[in-house]
Structure 1
Amino acid sequence: MNDSDRLISHVSHDSRPDLSHEHTVETAKARLRAGADLPGATIEQQVALVDQLSAFELGRFLLANRGLDAYWTHRLVTYEPGTLQRGAVSELEYRVFEEMPAVLATRERFGLFRREVQARLKPGLVLASVPCGLMGDLLLLDYTACADVRLVGVDLDQRALDGARALAAERGLTERLSLGQADAWAMDLNAEADVLTSNGLNIYEPDDERVVALYRKFLDALKPGGQLVTSFLTPPPVLSPESPWDMSAVSTAALALQHVLFVRVIEAKWSAFRTHAQTREQLERAGFTDITFVDDRARMFPTVVARKPD
């Protein structure tokens, strides 16, 4: 099996060269037509969303991959609200970038990661990101007072590593950066990191034991007293009575569109939801202590900071 075949967040760009966009579109439409009406979205309205997704680049990627790669994750989290003008792009593209609750929560989560890591910066630290993607969570920080901080990125996707290397060059951080291609569950950083950030794996992994095993790998990668900064998706109210979502912080219209778009039309693979209590229990089982949650406004995509015992 090639490394790219083990990607769980998206399909490798090179793994399906014969699968055309037209085939993807027709397959999606056939699946939807064999389904049923949803509240607020008839079958034909669902089918129409396929064509609307086909009208912009991110939409085409989501149709084909059912998840986000490093490039599109970086684009979404670093997007400046107000950049796209309504009417200048398709209405669906505008709503995905500007209004979709999951996208807004993801962008806020990215800001929380950067805030939490920036606050922990000291000279001489080793910061790691797994999977690193384009590594914006670390490469976009301010290292003015920490010239000797080292940065380590690990990702299974070679395109992500290439993107991280390019961003490091743009930021003048090439000399501080070390990159490695590896599966997060198989990596071995040998207690190298003072702080390790991780976003985007556990939300694609439904197996709780695999998530605990992943957290144990993160524990092994940290020095004694080192800290993990990670995140998780919480279940929506329709799926769990224990949902922590703050519905006053969510547009109900945007949420309804998001449900049809991501759950029904795209069949997004990022559907491994966990509560705060489940996440705490998993981190504790992995050996972490001093677990602190930092919620986004809607409590959809919380950040959690945990420490490896000394």
Structure 2
Amino acid sequence: MTNSKNIISHGDIDQDFSQAVDMLKRNILDNNDTTFASVDEQLQILEDLTKFEAGRFLIKNNGGFNGFWTHYMLQFPENSQITNKSSDGSELTELESFIFSKGVITLATQQRYRIFLEENNKCVRENAELACIPGGLLGELLYLDFSKIKNIALYGIDLDEESLKYSIRLAEKMNLAQFTHTMHCDAWELPCKDKFDLVSSNGLNIYESDKARVSALYQAFYNSLKPNGKLVTSYIAYPPGSGELCEWDMSKIDCEALKRGMAIFTSVLGSIWQNFSTRSEMETMLNDIGYKDIKFIYDKAKIFPTVVAYKR
């Protein structure tokens, strides 16, 4: 069984919660960084994060999301935002509502997800083999249109066994279990070659700071695709403060919401998902691997671009 510490998106879920809170509190006091919020404001944010399930998970995992909470974020506009109920059925707190309905990165992520669904749906056809890596809850595939399909294979590939179990439950709920398969393995060590018509991948590259490792990941995807198979992926563009590397459209961004989000995820949680890329870097890497017909599709503020490419 793969050790949970190899999962780069989130850490050891058994970490003692009070210990995690104390560590973040010490970091806030020791850093004394008031770039995005005062020390007192940061301590209040930390306290407010303890009051809802997603916040407690973020505290224990340095601001990283697993498959369950990523799915919760992506479905928030259609679920909790309408019902005003949190994951446990309680009323949404103001902070949870902000994170999942107004946070700048969250909004870009939700827009990116809709773009993925549109692109992935173009690959739905009889007997196709579609993969989501990391699989998470497999929402990028399960929410596609299979109304005219009699046979198709949907693969969720993930190191996180809990996410794989949740994906099977979701597939059963949506009456798609007959199409759904899971593979518990490392994305860098895929056992498949020339197998998939589609690889849909969001997330792993934003947790991996080693550019060589990122390239190796996309090489593994390339190897797993059939000739002319389609890659749908994404990256976070460099944020403000990165000089000419920043490609965000600031005219489409609520700057106060951005500042508050940075206070939550950077100042308080010390988020580990802060590895960025430029369009040029992404295009060069994919070209060097051998991908063709590379195109970029942007969310409103160009924060979380979607990249579509094909195997030669």
1:261/1:136 CA distance change after superposition, 3 Å: same
What is the total number of aligned residue pairs between the two structures? Answer: 305
State the match for 1:6 in structure 2: 6
The structure-2 alpha-carbon separation of the partners of 1:228 and 1:22, relative to structure 1 and needing over 3 Å to count, comes to: same
Aligned pairs for 1:215-226 within 5 A: 215-226=218-229
Paired with 1:52 and 1:83, the residues of 2 have a C-alpha distance of 22
Distance in structure 2 (CA, Å) of the matches to 1:29 and 1:83: 33
CA drift of 1:88 comes to: 4.5
Secondary structure of 1:151's aligned partner: strand
2:65 alignment partner in structure 1:
68
Alignment of 1:148-297 (within 5 A): 148-297=151-300
The residue identity in structure 2 corresponding to 1:44 is D
TM superposition shift of 1:192: 0.8
In the alignment, structure 1 segments of 5+ residues that lack a partner are none
Contact 1:3 1:157 in 2 (8 A): no
Matched residue type, 1:65: N
* Aligned-residue offset at 1:20: 2.5
Tell me the equivalent position of 2:92.
Answer: 89
State whether structure 2 residue 45 is matched by structure 1 residue 25: no
Q: Does the Cα contact within 8 Å between 1:71 and 1:163 map onto a contact in 2?
A: yes
Q: Which runs of 5+ in 2 are unaligned?
A: none
Q: Which residue of 2 aligns with 1:147?
A: 150
* Per-residue Cα deviation, 1:65-89 (whole angstroms, up to 9, x for no partner): 0200000000001112632649953
**Identical columns (%):** 34
Distance change in 2, residues 1:211/1:37 (3 Å): closer
CA spacing shift, 1:195–1:37, aligned 2, 3 Å: closer
SS in 2 for 1:142: coil
Q: Distance in 2 between matches of 1:206 and 1:72?
A: 22
Partner of 1:306: 309
Partners of 1:162 and 1:206 in 2: how far apart? Answer: 28
What whole-Å deviation, never above 9, does each CA across 1:147-182 have from its counterpart, x for those lacking one? 212111210010011011111111111111121100
Deviations 1:102-153 (A, max 9, x none): 0111111111100111123222211111111100000111101222121112
1:93 Cα shift? 1.1
Cα distance in structure 1, aligned partners of 2:148 and 2:197: 17
Q: Could you tell me whether the CA contact under 8 Å between 2:36 and 2:262 is conserved in 1?
A: no
Secondary structure of the 1:80 match is helix
Where in structure 1 do 4 or more consecutive aligned residues deviate above 3 Å? 84-88
TM-score, reference length from structure 2: 0.94
Instruction: Write the distance in 2 (CA, Å) between the matches of 1:37 and 1:220.
Output: 44
AA aligned to 2:34 is L
Q: Is the 8 A contact 1:132 1:161 kept in 2?
A: yes
**Does 2:28 correspond to 1:41?**
no
1:196 is paired with a residue whose SS is: strand
Deviation string 1:196-224 (CA, Å, 9 cap, x unpaired) is 10011000001111011000100011000
The alignment partner of 2:188 has SS state of coil
Shift of 1:40: 5.0
Secondary structure class of the residue paired with 1:223 = strand
Match of 1:78 in 2: 75
1:230-270 superposed Cα distances (whole Å, 9 cap, x missing partner): 11010112123221111121111100001111111001111
Displacement of 1:31: 1.1
Q: Name whichever of 292-301 and 236-245 sits farther off.
A: 236-245
State the one-letter code of the partner of 2:8. Answer: I
SS in 1 for 2:110: helix
What secondary structure, in the 3-state scheme, does the structure 1 residue paired with 2:198 have? strand
Pair 1:2–1:188, CA change in 2 (3 A): closer
Name 1:118's counterpart in structure 2.
Answer: 121
Instruction: Output the TM-score relative to the length of structure 1.
Output: 0.94
Query: Please, which moves more after superposition, 85-94 or 226-235?
Result: 85-94
Q: Tell me, yes or no, if the aligned pair for 1:213 and 1:286 is still in contact at 8 Å.
A: no
